[in-house]
Structure 1
Amino acid sequence: MGSKIGDYDAVRKDIIEAIPAERYDKGTFGPSMIRLAWHSCATYNRHQNNGGSQGGTMRFEEQYSDTANKGLENGRNALQPVHDKHPWLTYADLYTLGGCVAVEQMGGPHIPWSGGRFDTDDIEDIPPRNRLPDGHLNKGHIIDVFLDRLGFTVQETVALIGAHAVGECHKSHQGFDGPWTHNQTEFTNNFYKMLLERTWKEKVWDGPRQFEDEETHSLMMLPTDMAFLKEPFRPYVELYAEDQDRFFEDFKNAFVKLISLGTSRKRGEKNKLLVECCGR
């Protein structure tokens, strides 16, 4: 049975069932749903006011086939039955709400969320590729993406990276391999603790440059993760490693900002902006 238009409580319940909710193990779709929300929103460009979750364009092959989005079919497929049951719900709203619910269900903070995003079938609404953060790169890349293009502060940037407490990298996706923490299905401040407390060295293997902990050789960090040990990011890494409540509060606020990127844009505005910025 479906739901009445606007019954987001019913949608939440079905998302919880899709995660699944009763007991988390490596089969949970929670981390994939968080990453799906992340990647749906992080294509935003504040200078051009395009990209972001508005339009629900992650469902198009032109976007989900981007190398950076490999593996996100797991989250999309898990959420598709929710959309089938509530066809009035836009994919743009579903993908962002799914990430919020997954954070909460995995032990993280409640993320205030509001609907109203539209879907589009216009191919020109799909954001350009190569806008998502690239784990192969360095501090300068983080500053370019998070602080400049997305418009986050240093503190918000450090808070958002704490989501690496859950999930893991898969060699079949972007080439990286392994988890950041030992509790990959619990949303905690453990990412910061591991980053500070473990001794990290470059991993000797046949994959891309990444780091492993000398203590157990079972955890990994990306080159971009290691950049958070440097200024101006490190003070907030230390803060969140010591204070999980503060991390939860700041993550909540930063994630709300993330899922709101581009939502002020009305249907049809992006095409006009594309014409202006591309000279067509």
Structure 2
Amino acid sequence: ANAGLDIAVRLLEPIKEQFPILSYADFYQQLAGVVAVEVTGGPEVPFHPGRQDKPEPPPEGRLPDATQGSDHLRQVFSTQMGLSDQDIVALSGGHTLGRCHKERSGFEGAWTANPLIFDNSYFTELLSGEKEGLLQLPTDKTLLTDPAFRPLVDKYAADEDAFFADYAEAHLKLSELGFGEAVEGCC
């Protein structure tokens, strides 16, 4: 799921060198997560610094397999991470940004017509059906067929403010998994 990340790491390294006091964990969480969402029109996501860099990466299997369905999403996000169905659907809406590259993930394409804008178009595109040139993975399609996920897709397609609020909350939860107490009084 993180294939090709080395390209982004190489591009970001010169920026990271300007902020040696920040851990890599905080740098990537802040820059890749929070700033990317905000500068592309998304909600403000709180950020709490203080993450420690780890000498080894986490074990494989912590990210979902894009070829799987709702049971798998719940296994990864709910059972392993303690997130709710609402969090799963809201975080899936993050696919409004970016695209897949076949050489990195095995999949090709963007989920939305404008993958540089953070909005609720991921959900409106899902509801409008498959379109030439737009990506819908099995993990996306299951949001339409699962009886708990579908009402959230409908809600977020109709109400961008609700999506933004739930996304910001879910993003914060995800970003603080395994992270001790946040630094008091910051951000």
TM-score, normalised by the number of residues in structure 1: 0.62
Q: Which residue of 1 aligns with 2:45?
A: 111
Q: Which residue of 2 aligns with 1:238?
A: 154
Q: Which residue of 2 aligns with 1:159?
A: 90
1:94 paired to 2:34: no
**What are the Cα deviations for residues 61-107 of structure 1, in whole angstroms up to 9, with x where unaligned?**
xxxxxxx2112123222321122111111001101001100100011
**What are the Cα deviations for residues 138-184 of structure 1, in whole angstroms up to 9, with x where unaligned?**
11101111111111111111100001111111111121111111001
Q: Which runs of 4+ in 1 moved over 6 A?
A: none
Identity over aligned pairs, percent: 42
State the 1:120 CA deviation: 3.2
Q: Which residue of 1 aligns with 2:142?
A: 227
- Between the aligned partners of 1:94 and 1:108, the Cα distance in structure 2 is 19
1:135 paired to 2:66: yes
**What are the Cα deviations for residues 172-221 of structure 1, in whole angstroms up to 9, with x where unaligned?**
112111111100100000000000012x3xxxxxxxxxxxx2xxx11120
- Between the aligned partners of 2:86 and 2:7, the Cα distance in structure 1 is 30
Q: Which residue of 2 aligns with 1:255?
A: 171
State the 1:131 CA deviation: 2.1
Q: Which residue of 2 aligns with 1:187?
A: 118
State the 1:241 CA deviation: 0.1
Q: Which runs of 5+ in 2 are unaligned?
A: 182-187
Amino acid at match of 2:149: F
Pair member with larger Rg? 1
- Between the aligned partners of 1:225 and 1:135, the Cα distance in structure 2 is 8
Larger relative contact order (CA 8 Å, sep ≥ 6) = 2
Q: Which residue of 1 aligns with 2:185?
A: none
Alignment partner of 1:218 out of 133, 146, 152: 133
| 3-state SS of paired residue (1:147) | helix
Q: Which residue of 2 aligns with 1:71?
A: 4
Amino acid at match of 1:238: D
| 3-state SS of paired residue (1:81) | helix
Amino acid at match of 1:143: R
Say what the alpha-carbon RMSD is for the aligned residues: 1.3
Q: Which runs of 5+ in 1 are unaligned?
A: 1-67, 201-212, 266-280
- Between the aligned partners of 2:10 and 2:163, the Cα distance in structure 1 is 30
State the 1:238 CA deviation: 0.2
Q: How many residues align?
A: 179
